[in-house]
Amino acid sequence: MVATRTHDVQRASSLWGLHWAWIILPVCFVNLFLNYGIRLGFGVLLPEMIRSLDLNRVQGGSIYNAYILVYICLTPLTGNLTDRFGARRVITLFGILLGIGTLFLGTTDRLGTACLAFALAGAGGSAMWTPVITVVQRWFDARRRGMALGIVSTGYGLGFALVGWLFPVLVEAWSWRFCWFALGAAVLIMVVINGVFLRSSPESLDVAPWGEKVGTSPKQNLDPVVRDGRYGEVFRMTRFWMIGASFFCVSFSLYTVTTFMVDYAHLQLGFTFKEAAFLATIHGLGQVVGVLTIPMVSDRIGRRRTLMGSNLFIALSILGIILAGRDLVGLCVTIAVLAIFYGVTWPLYGACAGDYFRKEVMGTVIGAWTPFYGLGAISAHFIAGRARDITQSFEPAFYLAMILALVASYFMLRVRVPAGAD
């Protein structure tokens, strides 16, 4: 009887001879691919939506802010729900909201309904980052987290690259509305796939995380207030707030450029829509280069040091974008450099939760950091959009983004991590 049960567990813990971690990884990849195709694709379609719906840039940015506002309100909840009920249920159920909201966005003809539709998508999207990277970290040994997060994070880079190339083609053949219909339908298909293939933790299949050997699991020398299981103590720790403040600053920097770069290149610099949208493809491919290399470096030198250096390069690349002006080659190169470090920002901040806090509260910590990220993005959209409408230039906002990237690096310098964790 015992032998039969053992055989069933071993069979359930693998598929086609693979450790189940390698099933989890591609499923999570596709979730990120679609979610970030929707989120970042908004910036690609923004010039067309502004023209079609007769909006200004502050109004256009407010549609995105509706997504972000709901996203940051719900992400702490989805992070906590992930710790309590498992990523499989959370990702599957919230995926329905993401798909319906995206489809609804394709039907809107005024600002109010567009905000409502993208807010619904934001509710669904709140389960497409924190639960996803939480479940990936749980399925891989601590020495392999950077590698695993790097691989799965190619999803949002490739998602952005695809929409930068494909959206202009679809807009020309049909309209910007068709782009939202296609993405919404794809998300609803993934709802079924998530329900079938996702598993919330290795313990659910009685297996160890991939890469972990018996007796060799690294011991984290975490503070006593973290080990004793009191969540409130985590949020009173200085390192939590330092990392959160850094997250806010770098989020402002990256979204200021990424959301408006197609608009900047098309309507301020005078490039064609296809040329400007191609910057999104370059950006997406640059992200892939970054997430396949730098997270593995962070496994060796530590997340804090890696993020300090990454934020410095973000500041320098924003300066390069400003100085490139109408030099298309220079603009493409500096966008690519920015994208390399854009791509690694999100998984590295997420990995800090796994490195500096115990695994049982990992989802909660990542979820609690999300408001810092979201407020940075909302501030970026409002300030950059307002500055462009008033001055007819994005350069003042870009300079502010550069400064805040430097501040983000400084906050990471001030982080004091547990002994042996960095």
Burial of residue 106 (number of CB atoms within 10 Å: 0-12, 13-18, 19+): middle
250 pLDDT tier (thresholds 50, 70, 90): very high
In a domain, 295, yes or no: yes
Q: Is 18 helix (H, G, I), strand (E, B) or coil?
A: strand
Q: CA-CA distance, 319 to 270, in Å (whole number)? A: 20
28-71 pLDDT, tens digit each: 888 888 887 887 777 777 777 877 777 777 777 778 788 888 88
Q: Lowest mean pLDDT: which of 103-112, 171-180, 327-336, 413-422?
A: 413-422
Q: CA-CA distance, 279 to 163, in Å (whole number)? A: 11
Q: CA-CA distance, 284 to 186, in Å (whole number)? A: 19
Residue type, 371: P
CATH number, position 166: 1.20.1250.20
Query: Which structural domain, as residue segments, surrounds residue 192?
Result: 20-203+222-413
2 pLDDT tier (thresholds 50, 70, 90): very low
In a domain, 13, yes or no: no
Looking at residues 88-99, what average pLDDT do you find? 86
Looking at residues 15-25, what average pLDDT do you find? 68
pLDDT at 218 over 70: no
In a domain, 321, yes or no: yes
pLDDT at 297 over 90: no
pLDDT at 181 over 70: yes
In a domain, 209, yes or no: no
Nearest to 135 by CA among 148, 122, 126, 124: 148
Residue type, 188: L
Q: What mean pLDDT, rounded, does the chain reach?
A: 77
Count of domains observed in the chain: 1
Nearest to 44 by CA among 339, 320, 250, 258: 258
263: phi > 0 → left, psi -120 to 50 → alpha, else beta; which?
alpha
Q: Is 342 helix (H, G, I), strand (E, B) or coil?
A: helix
Q: CA-CA distance, 234 to 232, in Å (whole number)? A: 5
319 pLDDT tier (thresholds 50, 70, 90): very high
Q: CA-CA distance, 243 to 381, in Å (whole number)? A: 22
In a domain, 32, yes or no: yes
In a domain, 208, yes or no: no
Its pTM stands at 0.67
Q: Lowest mean pLDDT: which of 167-176, 236-245, 257-266?
A: 167-176
Q: Lowest mean pLDDT: which of 101-105, 147-151, 173-177, 308-312?
A: 147-151
Q: From the centroid of its chain, how far is CA 417?
A: 24
Q: What angle do CA 200, 201, 202 make, to 5 degrees?
A: 145
Q: Is 210 helix (H, G, I), strand (E, B) or coil?
A: strand
In a domain, 418, yes or no: no
Q: Lowest mean pLDDT: which of 190-199, 252-261, 309-318?
A: 190-199
pLDDT at 118 over 70: yes
The residue that leads in pLDDT, 316 or 49, is: 316
209 pLDDT tier (thresholds 50, 70, 90): low
Residue 367 and residue 381 in contact, taking contact as beta carbons nearer than 8 Å: no
pLDDT at 328 over 80: yes
In a domain, 33, yes or no: yes
The residue that leads in pLDDT, 10 or 307, is: 307
* pLDDT score at 317: 92
Nearest to 234 by CA among 418, 16, 32, 38: 418
Q: What share of the chain is helix, strand, coil (3-state, %, to 5)?
A: 80, 0, 15
